[in-house]
């Protein structure tokens, strides 16, 4: 009887060991449910942190302008760099009936700390702080001058003045006077002859 009981116990132990072995993997190791799979290891750790180029370039430069004169709501306004004077006028409520819009360059790109003065009909030019015509120590500011002002520079006629303004509106302000040679029709010789008459103040 004891022999039979011993055999039963041995059979039970052997069966238990066999079942346990069946649950182990082919290498003899029990599977780890928390192990990282081969596919997940191939995913870059920084994949979720990458930003698209468009998103990283969303920040715009802000400029502050002061709109004065014959507008409905004169004041200081915050604008995006690259906007135009006509948009600043709209922020100020638009022109008054007595405003003379023909004396303001509405297509000019706004600059930080810019004063935009809208004159009235018949107002004397000498009394104006015009946005488009500014001089520094008697020099013509290439970044703010209108065609008529540019034409006061020796050797700069209507066609070259127009080319300077077109280049400025398309590419932004001149950073140094040497940048003027990038304007079609203006070379090193022209720059040398007029460099004492021009500036590029912001």
Question: What would the pLDDT profile of 179-190 be if each residue is shown by its tens digit?
Answer: 999 999 999 999
Task: Specify the pTM.
Answer: 0.38
Buried b / exposed e over 90-108, threshold 16 CB at 10 Å, is ebbeebeeebeeebbbeeb
Asked if residue 154 is part of any domain, the answer here is: yes
What tens digit of pLDDT does each residue of 7-55 get? 777 777 777 677 766 666 444 554 444 444 444 444 444 333 344 444 3
Task: Return the bridge partners of 64, or none.
Answer: 78
| pLDDT score, position 47 | 36
The average confidence (pLDDT) of the chain is: 76
Q: What is the pLDDT of residue 54?
A: 40
- Give the tokens for residue 162: 């127009």
Flag whether pLDDT at 127 surpasses 50.
no
- 148 lies in the same domain as 106: no
Mean pLDDT on 134-140: 61
Q: Are strands 114-118 and 139-141 parallel, antiparallel or unpaired?
A: unpaired
| 68: in domain | yes
Q: Is residue 38 part of a domain?
A: no
150 in a domain, yes or no? yes
- Looking at the fold, whether 139 and 123 belong to one and the same domain comes out as no
pLDDT of residue 13: 77
CATH assignment at residue 169: 1.10.150.320
The proportion of the chain whose per-residue pLDDT surpasses 70, expressed as a percent, equals: 66
Does a structural domain hold residue 72?
Answer: yes
CATH code, 97:
3.10.20.600
Same-domain pairing of 70 and 96: yes
The domain containing residue 145 runs over which residues? 135-199
Report how many domains make up the chain: 2
């Amino acid at each position: 009887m004891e022999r039979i009981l011993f055999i039963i116990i041995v059979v039970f132990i052997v069966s238990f060991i066999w079942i346990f072995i069946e649950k182990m993997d082919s290498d003899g190791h029990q599977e780890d449910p928390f192990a990282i799979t081969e596919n997940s290891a191939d995913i870059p750790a920084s994949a979720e942190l990458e930003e698209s180029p468009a998103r990283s370039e969303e920040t715009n430069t802000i400029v502050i302008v002061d709109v004065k004169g014959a507008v409905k709501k004169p004041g200081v306004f915050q604008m995006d760099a690259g906007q135009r004077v006509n948009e600043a006028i709209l922020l100020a409520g638009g022109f008054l009936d007595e405003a003379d819009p023909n004396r303001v360059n509405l297509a000019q790109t706004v600059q930080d700390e810019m004063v935009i003065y809208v004159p009235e009909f018949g107002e004397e030019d000498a009394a104006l702080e015009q946005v488009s015509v500014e001089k520094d120590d008697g020099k013509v500011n290439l970044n703010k001058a209108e065609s008529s002002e540019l034409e006061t520079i020796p050797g700069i006629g209507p066609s070259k003045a127009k080319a300077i303004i077109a280049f400025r509106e398309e590419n932004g302000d001149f950073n140094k006077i040497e940048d003027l040679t990038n304007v079609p029709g203006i070379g090193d010789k022209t720059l040398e002859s007029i460099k004492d008459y021009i500036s590029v103040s912001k």
